[in-house]
Amino acid sequence: MTRLPAIVLVCLIGAAVAAPRLAPYAPDQIDLSSRRSPPTAAHWFGTDELGRDVLARVLFGARISLAVGLLSAVVAGASGIAIGGVAGYAGGAADAVLMRFTDGVLSIPRLPLLMIAAVVLQPSVALLILLIGLVGWMETARVVRAEFGSLRGREFVESARASGAGHVRVLARHLLPNAARAVAVSLTLAVARGILIESALSFFGVGVRPPQASWGNMLYQAQASLGSEPWLALAPGVFIVMTTVAVNLAGDRLAAR
């Protein structure tokens, strides 16, 4: 049981990477003779209004969703470590200014902020990753600041400084490894949040744009025919929930260890 989240995640990432081999059809292959087909042996998850295979689109959508989740967490983590690290290590006025800025960004509701930014900028997937990362660093920054703040007065830091290590070296080689656990937990949360935010943005039509498939924009298209073709809304949603639950459970395990 305890390994289940990790197994699910490995399978999902494997399926996303191998999507071109696993998918029974191309994700954008239109087949007007089998439009709106419910799940059958030929189309396990059914087809959409253009006859595109839902399984293929879910598999290719996994690439987008997982890439956005993981890479936006990398952006968020790097910014959070930089900002929180400087605040915690430097202390004093730099700390006060940086943390006040963090509180400020934290009090702007994340999803509405991103929705406006997405409408204004019409982002590509790469820019979307950057945007989601840029509003996701605050939690990591707080965690890193707290850890660094309590570590910086310790003897091993003084000894490293005394033996001639520069500030950057102390931050990266001595403080960061000691805060690794807490940072990792906050990063798993950022991955799950990134996936949820991408799906919400795409669901509102301002994230990943069709015809490219993402779990969120598949649900956006499914919304129009919920009553007649419910399978269109089931598969992408189940995959989102499966992924975010697995990521969050993995984070929980990491925190409890």
Partner 1 sequence: MARFLARRLAHAVPLLFIVSALVFLLIHLAPGGPLAIYLSNPNVRPEDIERLRHALGLDRPLWNQYWSWLAAFVQGDWGYSFSDGRPVASRILERVPATLELVSASLGCALALTMPIGVWSAVRRGRWFDRLATLASMIGLSLPAFWFGLLLQMIFALALGWLPSSGRATPGTNAFGDHLQHLLMPAAVLAAVLASSWSRYLRGAMIEVIGQPFVLAAEARGVPEARVILRHALANALGPLVAIVTVDAALLVSGAVVTESVFAWPGLGSLFTEALARRDYSVLMALLMLSSAAVILFNVAADALHAAIDPRVTT
Give residues in contact with partner 1 (CB under 8 A). 100-101, 103-105, 107-109, 111-113, 115-117, 119-121, 192, 196, 199-200, 203-204, 206, 219, 222-223, 226-227, 230, 233, 237, 240-241, 244-245, 247-249, 252
Q: Least distance in Å: CB of 105 to partner 1?
A: 7
Is the distance from CB of 225 to CB of 232 less than 8 angstroms?
yes
Handedness of CA 189, 192, 196, 201 (dihedral sign): positive
Q: Least distance in Å: CB of 133 to partner 1?
A: 16
Q: Least distance in Å: CB of 248 to partner 1?
A: 5
**What span, in angstroms and rounded, lies between the C-alpha atoms of 179 and 230?**
46
Nearest CB to partner 1, comparing residues 78 and 238: 238
**What span, in angstroms and rounded, lies between the C-alpha atoms of 34 and 47?**
7
Nearest CB to partner 1, comparing residues 42 and 96: 96
Nearest CB to partner 1, comparing residues 13 and 165: 13
Q: Least distance in Å: CB of 125 to partner 1?
A: 19
Is the distance from CB of 91 to CB of 177 less than 8 angstroms?
no
Burial status of residue 146 (CB atoms within 10 A of its CB: 0-12, 13-18, 19 or more) = middle
Q: Measure the N-to-C terminal CA separation of the chain; round to a whole number of Å.
A: 15
Q: Least distance in Å: CB of 225 to partner 1?
A: 10
Nearest CB to partner 1, comparing residues 36 and 161: 36
Q: Least distance in Å: CB of 101 to partner 1?
A: 6
Cα 239 to chain centroid, rounded: 14
Nearest CB to partner 1, comparing residues 16 and 246: 246
Nearest CB to partner 1, comparing residues 67 and 151: 67
**What span, in angstroms and rounded, lies between the C-alpha atoms of 64 and 75?**
16
Cα 51 to chain centroid, rounded: 30
